[in-house]
Each structure stands twice: as structure tokens, then as C-alpha cells.
Amino acid sequence: MNSDSDLQIAGDILAVQHLLQPAREHPATVAEFAGLARSVAADRASWEHLVEYDATSRWYHRLRTGPGYEVWLLSWVPGQGSGLHGHGDSSGVLTVLSGELTERTPQGERTLREGAQRVFAPGYAHEVVNDSLEGAVSLHVYYPGLTQMPMHTGAARCAEEPAAV
């Protein structure tokens, strides 16, 4: 018995229905969007056969939509990059599904390997590049759906943007 508390739970607490939150049909929180990305990543059969590599431009495919959000699949051949860009009013979750990518911001750069996730707030600017010698695949969840992707011309403009969440 825990003498620090008078509260005791008897029986199966999960059987008390009014204490359980109903399962949501669609994600609504940052944690749920990150969880959605992880569940898609884990289900390779749902996306792996869709991936194409294009040496002339980045390949992308809208994988899924929901109320106010979009899920995109992107491939990156060695040397391909996004250019320095923002995401307008959208927040996002970037998840590396295979290979590795480099993310560059005014604060520095970081290597994102398979399974890595980056969550970012509206206005966040970065550049994503495949600096490796192998192809890479990433998943991008945007909420609200991506309506603009303003390109920036240099690090000075990027430095004006707020830091990642």
C-alpha cells in the first residue's frame, strides 16, 4: 500500500468506460501527427511500392489526406535538395523512412537517419538535402495542408524565422 496517497485503484481501471478517451479517427495533436508518421513508416508495404526516383527533380506523392492535413511521400537521389524554404502557416512532421538526409538551418546542420523525426512550427525555414551516396525516402505530414512553400534566398532570411518546436 502506498502511504503517500489515499487513492487506491481496485479492479481493471480500463473497464471503466467514462475514464477512457474515445479513439480519434484523425490526429489532432503534435504527438498524434508524429504517431501517424511512425505508423506509416512501420507499414512499409503501404508505401514502399509507390516510391520512384527521378534524377531530374525530387519525386513526391500525396499518400493521404484528412481533415486539414496532408501526408506526402518524397524520394531523394544523391545530391538532391529542397532549397531553403518555409512552410507558410503549416506545421509539420518530417520522418526519414529510408536512407539519410541532412537538414540545414542557421543554427547548423544535422544528419537525419532512418527513423528520425523533426517537428516544426509554422514559419520554420530549412533546407533538406541528400548528401549521401544512396537514395533516401521521407514522409512529410503538414497541418494545415501545405498551401505555400516560400523559397528563401539566403541564410539571412532563414535567420529571421522562428526556431523549431
Residues in the chain: 165
Determine if residue 26 is labeled as part of a ligand binding site: no
Beta bridge partners of 129: 81, 102
- Are 130 and 78 in contact by the 8 Å Cβ rule? The answer is yes
Residue 160: phi, psi to the nearest 5? -75, -20
| CA nearest to 128, candidates 144, 160, 164, 147 | 164
Query: Is 85 marked as binding a ligand?
Result: yes
126 marked among binding-site residues: yes
What is the spatial order of strands in the sheet that 136-143 belongs to? 59-66, 69-76, 136-143, 91-98, 117-120
Question: Among 102, 97, 109, which Cα is nearest to 72's?
Answer: 97
d(CA 40, CA 32): 12
Enumerate the known binding-site residues: 85, 87, 126
Enumerate the known binding-site residues for Fe cation: 85, 87, 126
